[in-house]
Amino acid sequence: MIRTAAILGAALALVLGAAACGGGGSSEETTTEQATTEQTTTDQTTTEGGGGGSASGTLEGETGPGFEIEVKQNGEDAESVKAGTYTLKVEDKSASHNFHLIGPGVDKVVTDVGFVGDKTVTVTLKKGTYTYQCDPHASSGMKGTFEVT
């Protein structure tokens, strides 16, 4: 009799359970609020001519058409004007007259005899008395004065 040896092979089954890799860390989103900085730029540069508290403004001169000459400030006859730098606008209405301003630091013929029209100049007025005149007729009284304080 032939004996058959039965070989029992043992099978090893290795069951590797796949480890589920769940539950990952949730990343938190951090929202940083940015503060809004309002930049209000108030930068008004006031330029005043002369500085040191001196005044500025406009003076209006007029000569002619008759034998009249005058200087006005704010529409009124200039009598007392504060020291400072002024725009002097002269209206010359006659070819027979001129406009000449004389005073401390100023000796300016703004319009000539023969000229008719407007001329604008800048004058720096200091304390003292200023005379405006028409040269050919100053001796006849075609002149005036104002004080600068």
Residue 110 found at the interface with Cu ion (CB under 5 A): no
Nearer to Cu ion, 85 or 112 (CB): 112
Minimum distance of Cu ion from residue 60's CB (angstroms): 18
Query: Residue 81 or residue 142: which is nearer to Cu ion going by CB?
Result: 142
Binding residues for Cu ion restricted to 79-108, rule: CB under 5 A: 97
Binding to Cu ion by residue 134, rule CB under 5 A?
yes
- Cβ at position 144, least distance to Cu ion in Å: 12
By CB under 5 A, tell whether 137 contacts Cu ion: yes
Burial class (CB in 10 A: 0-12, 13-18, 19+), 9: exposed
Mind spelling out the 3-state secondary structure of the chain?
Answer: CCCCCCCCCCCCCCCCCCCCCCCCCCCCCCCCCCCCCCCCCCCCCCCCCCCCCCEEEEEEEEECCCCCEEEEECCEECCEECCEEEEEEEEECCCCCCEEEEECCEEEEEECCCCCEEEEEEEEECCEEEEEECHHHHHHCCEEEEEEC
* Number of residues in contact with Cu ion under rule CB under 5 A: 4
Minimum gap (Å) between residue 140 Cβ and Cu ion: 8
Nearer to Cu ion, 59 or 142 (CB): 142
Asked if 143 is part of the footprint of Cu ion (rule: CB under 5 A), the reply reads no
Nearer to Cu ion, 55 or 102 (CB): 102
> Is residue 103 within 8 Å of residue 137, measured between CB atoms?
no
- Shortest reach from residue 97's CB to Cu ion, in Å: 3
Q: Site residues (CB under 5 A) for Cu ion?
A: 97, 134, 137, 142
